[in-house]
Chain A
């Protein structure tokens, strides 16, 4: 780990001020991703600003019946909060499916949004080629061991996936990320927060280096109470998703009135499954409808040597998740 200077800040303004104009500096949340990557030599900040004492841990109802989650709220606290469990069970389930109880006690909402890919070629600097780590160096995964890699939205520069479970639920819920920079606050809609790799895979998100995430706002979605998170992985727990599905359905008897669906483990960003949503709209909520919609969503999917299984797996996972939600009371 490179040497760095360390400071603790007490309010968001001070945090932003401390890192203003210092692209080499980083905010330190739970540390579960940043410290890990620093140990690997992937992240090499020269300054860490510890934001753990910022008063941004609130989980509170907004006037419009949405919910605001402070950027420093711990993953476990969000998952166990009554407002989240009752109004957005998909978010609670997504969080609880991630990492381990210990890590969820440490991980913050802000840090979770910015966690980086688990691509092996990115994580180990002994591999020379990784455009995300070293722009222009190539992509080791393209012709390498690419079992966990993307099947949607990838580019020939990068086929990494975004590893977060929480973010898949947030994508389905149309969350809004509120950030604060040296020039003040702004809001970023969730769909615009993470990026596809294109020719700039080194940039995971549209956040500037000196911007601080202050909260994530969830809009009021009445039918989000009828939602589910399905995660398929190599072991029963404590593993990242191979494929995951966040789904919420608004049903009128057996007809789909509205749907929210997002996929994890398939792309460089949490993948909002707009095609599934439009496909099933107005149709009867049954397996045939869901399967046809899944086919449409995955029509553009492209697999590589070791991850083609994900295409069929994603389709089945979509059907399974939607069927589960449809069967809910």
Chain B
């Protein structure tokens, strides 16, 4: 094999397309006879629709059709596994009843010749309601008695956990605190909004261009809803303008666009407005997290209770798993983690820039700082004293953990020793108060089943395909590198293709598992390809010209190999897999209350990076002033 490309400073293989405006996102595929769809949405948050009057809208210029509950087909339900067990996304298909569960709920779609006409006609649709007072606050008394105590996060991790005797430990703790942190609703707002262009290529064949980081999942969802064989639904998405947790799971817009396309017998494009990004397809739920934690006089954690209250919508039971990391991030004999869910008339929550680990670790780390302060210990020292050498929840060793080294390197690099202990004691020349803070970063290191094909082409180049996604994290580049490295040919001779449901299965892009899942499949397919060539009685030349000759000699048009990779179950059960880091920040607050983050340093363990240029982009945080 030639010198490895992994870790080299390559530029992105799709960089040229992106800087020239040639990368095509979901809304940018011109289709013949395209019509435009615009959503009709509920303006109340709870109640029933009594009437949708489309008489004026129907006759507005350019209107082709209006789809509402009146003329909607009977959709089949979403796939079972996506609607059970607190999975994210909505449980119910749209337009099947008159119930309103939250403001902005989709009540129909207006299709017109032009976007402007569709927007105008939508404003002419008159909806009458029978409203009910909505419940939108976590502490609203009306929903407390029906609160849910969900057992598991999407059928996986336990959300109600007890270890040891928390009450006894709290009662005897030398230092303790009892604090509540709340985090607001957070919206993903990738800069590209959702967009779907649906068209029926035949009465039973559907082509969809959509901004999705779950191509295969969406294919399954749509096939189910319209009762089609999965292979009859073709999803294409070569580029995604950011997702951050959105653009996955089941939401009603894809169904509405496809149903509208069927109704008008033309391709229909439906693109969310920016306001619709706040009410139409997921957001992070509000959370309220109460901590009761206690330590002994040496600053050793004795008790940690992390009780989360959060909300779901009336049409989903997804739970923000805020307490998951509290189970094991620190060593503590007595732990209680609980999650309580109330149903609110708010847009259905889903993960946003990671599921509940994000607000959960924010709160845990803040609480830890408060307790460190209470015990009179430096926050870094406090964390070191409570370092977990094994996963005390699973009672397993870590697959690897170099967190101690992260703390130490970070503290040194940041000049942490310059921090003064007393709150408000550090002042800048302009009268600003200066704060130094630090926190632990942690996230599960996951892996999923994935497949890829590798094809040796006539000209000696290799095409590699997988139904994975490019949301900006550099999939095209990274996978091209893995393929080039495995095959020993220049990266320019690799063509990596993704974003097509006809390619081999790949997981949703999320959970930080894309590379760990798809790379093994890509490398596997490339190894299989090499094997096939060797089986022809030829050795594998690290040279495209020779590969072209070899293919010509074999008399084949192309040679194709496939590989499916799966996580090593045994390994996964032996160890606990997490990635770690330590973050240090300097924040200034001036006399006008203006907050400026002056420095952020994120220390990650030394590892090999796919492409250090992209890696720098994904992790570096600038100082602003």
**Chain B contacts for A2, CB-based, 8 A:** 120, 123
Taking a contact as CB atoms under 8 Å apart, the answer to whether A1 and B119 are in contact is yes
CA–CA, A2 and B116, complex, Å: 9
User: What separation, in Å, do the CA atoms of A1 and B103 have in the docked complex?
Assistant: 22
Closest chain A residue to B593 by CB distance?
A313
List the B side residues contacting A309 at CB < 8 Å.
Answer: 593
Instruction: Output the least CB separation between A33 and chain B (Å).
Output: 17
Is B123's CB under 8 angstroms from A232's CB? no
A3 on the interface (CB 8 Å rule)? Answer: yes
- Interface band, chain B: 10 to 19
User: Is B549 part of the binding interface, using a Cβ–Cβ cutoff of 8 Å?
Assistant: no
The answer to the question of B568 belonging to the interface, with a C-beta cut-off of 8 Å to chain A, is no
Within 8 Å CB of A39, what residues of B?
119
Asked whether A300 is an interface residue with its Cβ less than 8 Å from the other chain, the reply is: no
B596, A236: Cβ atoms closer than 8 Å: yes
A320 touching B591 by the CB < 8 A rule?
yes
B93-112 residues with Cβ-Cβ distance < 8 A to A are 103
Q: Please, how many angstroms separate the alpha-carbon atoms of A95 and B123 in the complex?
A: 35
B596 near A126: Cβ-Cβ < 8 Å:
no
Q: Which of A124, A126, A313 contacts B592 (CB 8 A)?
A: A313
Q: Are A236 and B624 in contact (CB under 8 A)?
A: yes
B43 within 8 A of A: yes
CA distance A241 to B596 in the complex (A): 17
Cβ of B120 and Cβ of A3 under 8 Å apart? Answer: yes
Residue contact B120 to A1, C-beta cutoff 8 Å: yes
Question: Does A257 sit within 8 A of B, measured CB to CB?
Answer: no
Question: Considering only CB atoms, which chain B residue lies closest to A3 in the complex?
Answer: B120
Are B43 and A232 touching (Cβ within 8 A)?
Answer: no
B592 and A320 contact, CB distance less than 8 A: yes
B624 engages A1 (CB within 8 Å):
no
A316 near B: Cβ within 8 Å?
yes
Q: Are A316 and B43 in contact (CB under 8 A)?
A: no
Contact B591 A126 (CB under 8 A): no
A301-322: which have CB < 8 Å to B? 309, 313, 316-317, 320
Interchain CA distance A322-B231 in the complex, whole Å: 70
State whether B591 touches A316 (Cβ < 8 A).
yes
A232 to B123 CA separation, bound complex (whole angstroms): 37
**How far, in whole Å, are A290 and B275 apart by their CA atoms in the complex?**
42
- Taken residue by residue from 261 to 283, chain A's Cβ proximity to chain B (1 for < 8 Å, 0 otherwise) reads as 00000000000000000000000
Residues of chain B within 8 A of A313, CB atoms compared: 592-593
Residue ID in chain B nearest A320 by CB atoms: B592
Nearest-neighbour CB distance to chain B for A4, whole angstroms, equals: 11
Name the residue on A nearest B275 (C-beta).
Answer: A124
Q: Does B425 sit within 8 A of A, measured CB to CB?
A: no
Q: How far is the CA of A232 from the CA of B592 in the complex (A)?
A: 8
| A232/B594 in contact, CB under 8 A | yes
Cβ contact of B123, chosen from A41, A236, A317, A320, cutoff 8 A: A41
Q: Which A residues touch B624, using CB under 8 A?
A: 236
A232 vs B593: C-alpha distance in the bound complex, in angstroms?
A: 9
With both beta carbons as reference points, the residue of chain B lying nearest to A2 in the complex is identified as B120
> Which residues from B are CB-within-8-Å of A317?
592
Give 1 or 0 for each of B580-600: 1 = CB within 8 Å of chain A CB.
Answer: 000000000001111010000
> Complex Cα distance A320/B591, Å?
9
Within 8 A of B (CB), among A103-149: 124, 126
Instruction: Provide the bound-state CA to CA distance between A320 and B624, in Å.
Output: 22
Determine if A1 and B116 form an interchain contact, defined as CB atoms under 8 angstroms apart: yes
In the complex, residue of chain B having the shortest beta-carbon distance to the beta carbon of A41: B123
Map CB proximity to B onto A202-234 as digits: 1 under 8 Å, 0 otherwise: 000000000000000000000000000000100
A39 to B273, CA, bound (A): 11
Question: Which residues does chain B contribute within 8 Å of A1, judged by CB atoms?
Answer: 116, 119-120
Residue of B nearest to A236 (CB): B624
Complex Cα–Cα for A126 and B42 (A): 9
Closest CB of chain B to A221's CB: distance in Å? Answer: 27
CB closest residue in chain B, given A232: B592
CB of A286, distance to nearest CB on chain B (Å) = 16
Least CB distance, B515 to chain A, in whole angstroms = 33
- Binary interface profile of A, 1-24, with partner B (CB < 8 Å = 1, else 0)? 111000000000000000000000
A236 to B275, CA, bound (A): 23
In the assembled complex, the CB of A82 is this many whole angstroms from the nearest CB of chain B, namely 28
Distance in angstroms between the alpha carbons of A124 and B596 in the assembled complex: 31
CA distance A166 to B551 in the complex (A): 71
Candidates B43, B116, B119, B120; contact of A126 at CB < 8 Å: B43
Are A316's CB and B119's CB within 8 A? no
Question: Shortest Cβ distance from A300 into chain B, in angstroms?
Answer: 22
Name the CB-closest residue of B to A312.
Answer: B593
Identity of the chain A residue whose Cβ is nearest the Cβ of B43 in the assembled complex: A126
Residues 44-64 of chain B: 1 if any A CB is under 8 Å from the residue's CB, otherwise 0? 000000000000000001000
What's the Cα separation between A41 and B124 when bound, in Å?
A: 11
Cα–Cα distance between A317 and B590 once the two chains are bound (Å): 11
**Residues on the A chain within 8 Å of B61, using CB:** 3
Binary CB contact string for chain B from 476 to 501 against chain A (1 if under 8 A, 0 otherwise): 00000000000000000000000000
CA distance A309 to B592 in the complex (A): 11
Please report the C-alpha to C-alpha distance between residue A97 and residue B103 in the assembled complex, in whole angstroms.
35
Minimal beta-carbon separation of A127 from chain B (angstroms): 9
CA distance A96 to B61 in the complex (A): 42
**Docked pose: A228 CA to B63 CA in angstroms:** 54
Cα–Cα distance between A72 and B43 once the two chains are bound (Å): 38
Name which residue of chain B comes closest to A40, CB basis.
B275
Nearest residue (CB) in A for B596 is: A236
Contact with A along B560-592 (1 / 0, CB 8 A): 000000000000000000000000000000011
Q: Contacts of A320 on B, CB cut-off 8 Å?
A: 591-592
| Binary contact readout B328-371 vs A (1 if CB under 8 angstroms, 0 otherwise) | 00000000000000000000000000000000000000000000
Complex: A41 Cα to B591 Cα, angstroms: 40
The reply to whether B592 and A316 form a contact with Cβ atoms under 8 Å apart is yes
CA of A1 to CA of B116 in the docked complex: distance in angstroms? 7
CA distance A313 to B590 in the complex (A): 12
Q: Which residues of B contact A41 (CB under 8 A)?
A: 123
CA distance A1 to B121 in the complex (A): 9
In the complex, per-residue mask of B160-182: 1 if CB is within 8 Å of any chain A CB, else 0? 00000000000000000000000
Nearest CB in chain A: distance from B274 CB, A: 10
| Whole-angstrom distance between the Cβ of A36 and the nearest chain B Cβ | 11
Nearest Cβ distance between residue A291 and chain B, in whole angstroms? 12
* Minimum C-beta distance from B301 to chain A (A): 36
> Using Cβ atoms and an 8 Å threshold, which residues of chain B touch A126?
43, 103
User: A303 → chain B, closest Cβ, in Å?
Assistant: 15
Instruction: Specify the chain A residue showing the minimal Cβ separation from B624.
Output: A236
Q: Which residues of A contact B103 (CB under 8 A)?
A: 126
Instruction: Give the shortest distance, in Å, between B357 (CB) and chain A (any CB).
Output: 26
A316 CA to B594 CA in the complex, in Å?
12
Q: Which residues of A contact B43 (CB under 8 A)?
A: 126
Tell me, in angstroms, the Cα distance from A313 to B119 when the chains sit together: 41
B347 CB, nearest partner CB in chain A, Å: 14
* Cα A2 to Cα B56 with chains together (Å): 13
List, in ascending order, chain A residues with CB within 8 A of B119's CB. 1, 39
Residues 115-134 of chain B: 1 if any A CB is under 8 Å from the residue's CB, otherwise 0? Answer: 01001100100000000000
With a cutoff of 8 Å between Cβ atoms, the chain A residues found around residue B275 in the complex are 124
Shortest distance in angstroms between B134's beta carbon and chain A's nearest beta carbon?
14
What would 5 A/B residue contacts be, using CB atoms closer than 8 Å?
A: A1-B116, A41-B123, A309-B593, A313-B593, A320-B591
Q: Across chains A and B, which 10 residue pairs bring their CB atoms closest together, nearest first?
A: A126-B43, A232-B592, A316-B592, A41-B123, A316-B591, A1-B120, A1-B119, A317-B592, A2-B120, A1-B116
13 further A-B pairs in the complex, CB-CB below 8 A; given A232-B592, A232-B593, A236-B624: A1-B116, A1-B119, A1-B120, A124-B275, A126-B43, A126-B103, A232-B594, A309-B593, A313-B593, A316-B591, A316-B592, A320-B591, A320-B592
Question: Which A residues fall within an 8 A CB radius of B?
Answer: 1-3, 39, 41, 124, 126, 232, 236, 309, 313, 316-317, 320
